[in-house]
Amino acid sequence: MKIFTTLLFIFTSCAQIQPIKKNEKKTRPYPRIETGIKRVCAVNQELKSYEERYIFDCKEDYSKKARIFAGYGFRSKPGHPYTSGLKSPYPRGKVARSIDMISRNYSLNETYLSVIDFAGGPDSHDKKSVIFLFPRVEIPKVTEIGNEVELLLPTGEKVFFDAETGVINGGSMKEGKIDLHRDYKKRAEPNIHYTGDYVSVRLTHAFDEPTIAADKAVIKQKKNICILIRGRLFSREGKLLTKSDDEFLAAINRECTTPFRF
């Protein structure tokens, strides 16, 4: 796995940021449903305890175009209890973990957690999960408090990271050991989980974007679990089919036996 201070990704999700249409539904405090960008490039700015994500139009040199905020990133560091000292099943491989709180241009349907456990081999061997949290009543925010970094989740709940190692210390998420099974096809999803009071939707895949390639979407609220075919909630392009929290709640409650509640 290669980790760079500055990473460049090409996404093929949507060409310029479009203003919200007058008749378009929106959920406060998010100012828009989607970014409206077809070819998005991203650059990361590494800070002491975390990273900041920015996006820009791929057609422009990012040094000449105003960057647009796109979220926060947390990487495992030396001393992390679930990555440090672990031997990768790949020669010269490095075990690592990343937890990203994505929020592209503060867009409602482009705000989600992205988690990856890196075993040190090809990217296609690493399981990736995206986790959407509902209801989305807060814009994610990071605050440094002493030796901890506080992450405000879209639900209004908080997660606390150790500033030195990047491990989760508490709050509404937890993490555990990384699955380093030599057969990458048998590895479990990233051992990072939402433990809060509200609703999460998780999709996992090893090669492609989970919202595009995952077979199923796992909806969970405490002990209430419902598994749906991905296409019931996401389009072929990997976008949420619903445009508000209320629409989403109504959609899953039509499909699932036990109702979910915000």
Spatial contact of 37 and 16, defined as CB atoms under 8 Å apart? yes
Q: pLDDT-based confidence at 63, cuts 50/70/90?
A: low
Calculate mean pLDDT across residues 73-80.
Answer: 96
Q: Which of the pair, 37 or 185, is modelled with greater confidence? A: 185
What's the token pair of residue 18?
A: 């479009």
Look up tokens 């929290």; give the residue. Answer: 245
- 49-63, 78-92, 117-131, 184-198: least confidently modelled range: 49-63
Q: pLDDT-based confidence at 82, cuts 50/70/90?
A: very high
Q: pLDDT-based confidence at 24, cuts 50/70/90?
A: very low
Spatial contact of 215 and 241, defined as CB atoms under 8 Å apart? no
Please say if the pLDDT value at position 258 is more than 60.
yes
Please say if the pLDDT value at position 22 is more than 70.
no
Look up the pTM and report it. Answer: 0.86
Q: pLDDT-based confidence at 3, cuts 50/70/90?
A: very low
Please say if the pLDDT value at position 6 is more than 80.
no
The pLDDT tens digits for 168-180 are: 999 999 999 999 9
For residues 122 and 8, give the distance between their C-alpha atoms in angstroms, rounded to a whole number. 17
Please say if the pLDDT value at position 207 is more than 90.
no
Sign of CA dihedral 45, 95, 189, 170: negative
- Integer Rg of the chain from CA: 18
Calculate mean pLDDT across residues 110-122.
Answer: 95
